[in-house]
A and B are shown apart, each in its own frame.
Chain A
Amino acid sequence: MRRFTWFNATSLTLGFAFLYIPMIIVIIYSFNDSRLVTVWGGFSTRWYGELLQNEAFLDAAWVTLQVAVLSSLIATVLGTMGAYVLVRGGRFFGRTLFSGMMYAPLVMPEVITGLSLLLLFISIGLDRGLITIVLAHATFAMCYVSVVVSSRLVSFDRSIEEAALDLGCTPFDAFRSVTLPIIAPAVISGWLLALTLSLDDLVIASFVAGPSATTLPIKVFSSVRLGVSPEINALSTILIGLVTIGTITASISTKRAVLRRKREEQMAEQMT
């Protein structure tokens, strides 16, 4: 299968070019000395310096981070609880309806989610700001968390929980000391998903953000509409760098865990 053919080489090159050329251009132009984005004026890191002086961007970044952490935590707790009830709650009236409703926001256009949240916040008289963005993000992210956690719960051997009850745990104790540690990887990946969704979101945030709090995606989007400044390129490069580091770290640690498990299994086999 590992044959080198010109067809393979070409399709690989084209594919990666398609994916990465835009990003490479952004990275290259972030080191452009010229104020004009399309004209190369020599190498410089001045836009990174200016970015760090830009209060508006830094504020927006800080807001984004706060929103992401808070909303993803709320979404993780609520999403895990929802998944647990839907998977473990047994049959109850309207269960299918509930689980359908849990997944509906996944396919709902963001514009509608944003608009309906906006209407809700106005009608209850909640001032738009940090809190409304946190609530909105928690709302749509908890569905994603719930999907991730419930897929783990479905494949999880129910008798492990029963064994905990059998050995003297109250239902809450069984959840805390047995279920939660076992589903922890799914809960963590759900949380990471909620975190990235929140960091990423533009549409919903633009509906529910107020003058007192603006997230980074909104800030970037609105400043690009006035013309792309080289500062944006620098910011994008930093973000690309962070994401790359994060992805590489995650994949290395997964690979290590797999290797370790394989080694342990081999050891166990040798012992018998």
Chain B
Amino acid sequence: MPENVFAPWNDPAEKPLIQFKNVTKRFGDFTAVDDLSIDIYEKEFFALLGPSGCGKTTMMRMLAGFEKPTSGTILLDGKDISPIPPNKRSVNMMFQSYALFPHLTVYDNIAFGLKRSDMPKDQIDDRVQKMLKLVQIEKFAKRKPEQISGGQRQRVALARALAKAPKLLLLDEPLSALDKKLRQDTQFELMDIQEKTGTTFVIVTHDQEEAMTVASRVAVMNFGKLIQVDTPTQIYEAPNSTYVADFIGDVNIITGHAVGVNQTETIGSNDTETVSITWAEGQQPIIATTAQPTLTGKVSFVIRPEKLNITAERPSDASNAFQGKVLDIAYLGNLSTYHVEMPDGQIIKAQATNARRRANRAFTWEDEVWLSWTDTAGVVIAE
């Protein structure tokens, strides 16, 4: 990996800022977080992603100090933070509802935490002005929260949480209340602010696109456990389970039986092995490569729709090519998704980019088409 890439998690000498060590949190009979261990590094933009009830919010609330772990320890800068109350932690949080103080002006909202710190009075004004400028709301300093729009409130909440220059900023679904366009703009702004301030951000979200856009690493959670912790690219291109593959983006999952072909190749630094997967009667097996050695038995073959080629004739050079019938076409503007029915009834989705504005659609309903992909296009996951 090149030197200038930000990847402290690959550097064994780097000390993590936050360490969860076998943390479990139970509410009565319900286990929200289940024996979870994870390291988060300084200056990371770390996303906790999962469906509601997966324990991501509980993890965040434990970091903020609103919940105490049932067992296990959480270290911040090497120190156990369990006995420290929320008001004594150098951790600040941006709440999903923003939680602005309705009786205070924007200025006083941002100054609220500073007035309760040991910052000298004459420096508070400077700091507040700096924050107002950072999030571009100088014009609204004298307004009450109810006198500004949702997007501006979100900025005030961010400025207030950043004002005390915390070691760690927690963001609880920070953009969920904004409409889609504003949300996308704000995502880039968040990344920009994170870079400018050098603060470690931990964001909780159920929106996979948001997590992929902003985060340096994404942790996919389910039932209080971490399923996969990796960079957005790895999560998308090399999911470690069908759950992750299915949760992030669109995917075809084909179950079958793998047989090793014993054809080891070296691509980059990884040894890969070719396997052939029998998946449907009367069909050629799928040829795929995998980094996991001697993967045999029941497997899932996972392939993203955009990795498939859809053609009228059988391509001569593809490792995998199967004929099917177009069942449905979803036109999304930038791309079209074709649902292609295989002879055995399985439906495989293939996406084609609509690069030209006035091209006639190449295929229509009931057309016989060929789906093809290379042997590295998909991922083989053991069941």
A residues in contact (CB < 8 Å) with B: 157, 159-160, 162-170, 173, 178, 181-182, 261, 264-265, 267-269, 271-272
The chain A residue with its CB closest to the CB of B93 is A166
Partner of B86, one of A159, A165, A265: A165
Using A167-B160, A167-B164 as known contacts, say yes or no to A178 and B147 having CB atoms under 8 A apart. Answer: no
Name the distance in Å between B13's Cβ and chain A's nearest Cβ. 32
Contacts of B112 in A (CB 8 A): 164, 167
Chain B 11-34, CB within 8 Å of chain A: the 1/0 string? 000000000000000000000000
Cβ of B103 within 8 Å of any chain A Cβ, yes or no, is yes
- Chain A, interface SS category: helix
Name the distance in Å between B107's Cβ and chain A's nearest Cβ. 14
Partner of B99, one of A162, A168, A169, A271: A162
Whether the pair A181, B103 counts as a contact (CB closer than 8 A) is yes
Contacts of A265 in B (CB 8 A): 146-147
Contacts of B116 in A (CB 8 A): 167-169, 173
Using A178-B101, A261-B146, A271-B149 as known contacts, say yes or no to A162 and B87 having CB atoms under 8 A apart. Answer: no
Contacts of B160 in A (CB 8 A): 163, 167
Chain B 69-96, CB within 8 Å of chain A: the 1/0 string? 0000000000000000111100111011
Distance of A169 Cα from B112 Cα, bound (Å):
9
Cβ of B102 within 8 Å of any chain A Cβ, yes or no, is yes
Whether the pair A162, B95 counts as a contact (CB closer than 8 A) is yes
Query: Closest 9 CB pairs between A and B?
Result: A167-B113, A168-B116, A163-B99, A159-B99, A272-B149, A181-B103, A159-B95, A165-B86, A268-B147
Cβ of B97 within 8 Å of any chain A Cβ, yes or no, is yes
Provide 20 A-B residue pairs closer than 8 Å at the C-beta atoms, listed in order of the A residue: A159-B95, A162-B64, A162-B66, A162-B95, A162-B99, A163-B100, A163-B101, A163-B160, A165-B85, A166-B113, A166-B161, A167-B112, A167-B116, A173-B116, A264-B146, A268-B146, A268-B147, A271-B149, A272-B148, A272-B152
The chain B residue with its CB closest to the CB of A160 is B99
Whether the pair B101, A166 counts as a contact (CB closer than 8 A) is no
Instruction: For chain B, give the interface size range.
Output: 35 or more
Partner of A168, one of B95, B117, B152: B117
Cβ of B130 within 8 Å of any chain A Cβ, yes or no, is no
Distance of A265 Cα from B146 Cα, bound (Å):
7
Cβ of B297 within 8 Å of any chain A Cβ, yes or no, is no
Whether the pair B101, A164 counts as a contact (CB closer than 8 A) is yes
Cβ of B142 within 8 Å of any chain A Cβ, yes or no, is no
Name the distance in Å between B315's Cβ and chain A's nearest Cβ. 52
Distance of A186 Cα from B382 Cα, bound (Å):
60
Distance of A11 Cα from B64 Cα, bound (Å):
61
Cβ of B143 within 8 Å of any chain A Cβ, yes or no, is yes
Whether the pair B87, A165 counts as a contact (CB closer than 8 A) is yes
Whether the pair A169, B146 counts as a contact (CB closer than 8 A) is no
Cβ of B343 within 8 Å of any chain A Cβ, yes or no, is no
Whether the pair A168, B164 counts as a contact (CB closer than 8 A) is yes
Cβ < 8 Å to A, chain B residues 147-197: 147-149, 151-152, 160-161, 164
Whether the pair B146, A163 counts as a contact (CB closer than 8 A) is no
Whether the pair A269, B93 counts as a contact (CB closer than 8 A) is no
Whether the pair A166, B92 counts as a contact (CB closer than 8 A) is yes
Using A159-B95, A159-B97, A162-B95 as known contacts, say yes or no to A168 and B87 having CB atoms under 8 A apart. Answer: yes
Distance of A181 Cα from B108 Cα, bound (Å):
14
Contacts of A178 in B (CB 8 A): 101
Name the distance in Å between A95's Cβ and chain B's nearest Cβ. 15
Contacts of A166 in B (CB 8 A): 64-65, 86-87, 91-93, 113, 161
Whether the pair B147, A182 counts as a contact (CB closer than 8 A) is no
The chain B residue with its CB closest to the CB of A173 is B116
Whether the pair B101, A160 counts as a contact (CB closer than 8 A) is yes
Name the distance in Å between B278's Cβ and chain A's nearest Cβ. 54
Using A164-B101, A168-B117 as known contacts, say yes or no to A268 and B92 having CB atoms under 8 A apart. Answer: no
Whether the pair B87, A157 counts as a contact (CB closer than 8 A) is no
Contacts of B86 in A (CB 8 A): 162, 165-166
Name the distance in Å between A24's Cβ and chain B's nearest Cβ. 43
The chain B residue with its CB closest to the CB of A267 is B147
Contacts of A169 in B (CB 8 A): 87, 116
User: Which has the most chain A C-beta neighbours within 10 Å: B139, B146, B151?
Assistant: B146
Taking A165-B86, A264-B147 as known contacts, 12 extra A-B pairs with beta carbons closer than 8 A to each other, sorted by chain A number, are: A160-B101, A160-B102, A162-B99, A165-B66, A166-B86, A167-B164, A168-B116, A181-B103, A182-B102, A268-B147, A268-B149, A271-B139
Name the distance in Å between B176's Cβ and chain A's nearest Cβ. 14
Name the distance in Å between B128's Cβ and chain A's nearest Cβ. 13
Whether the pair B95, A167 counts as a contact (CB closer than 8 A) is no
The chain B residue with its CB closest to the CB of A263 is B147
Contacts of B147 in A (CB 8 A): 264-265, 267-268
Name the distance in Å between B30's Cβ and chain A's nearest Cβ. 14
The chain B residue with its CB closest to the CB of A174 is B87
Name the distance in Å between A204's Cβ and chain B's nearest Cβ. 36
Cβ < 8 Å to A, chain B residues 97-141: 97, 99-103, 112-113, 116-117, 139-140
Contacts of B65 in A (CB 8 A): 165-166
Distance of A253 Cα from B164 Cα, bound (Å):
39
Whether the pair B143, A268 counts as a contact (CB closer than 8 A) is yes
The chain A residue with its CB closest to the CB of B143 is A268
Contacts of B95 in A (CB 8 A): 159, 162-163
Name the distance in Å between A124's Cβ and chain B's nearest Cβ. 42
Contacts of B113 in A (CB 8 A): 166-168
Distance of A141 Cα from B21 Cα, bound (Å):
52
Name the distance in Å between A216's Cβ and chain B's nearest Cβ. 37
User: Which has the most chain B C-beta neighbours within 10 Å: A163, A169, A265?
Assistant: A163
Distance of A197 Cα from B66 Cα, bound (Å):
40
Distance of A168 Cα from B111 Cα, bound (Å):
12
Contacts of B96 in A (CB 8 A): 159
Using A167-B113, A168-B113 as known contacts, say yes or no to A157 and B146 having CB atoms under 8 A apart. Answer: no
Contacts of A268 in B (CB 8 A): 143, 146-149
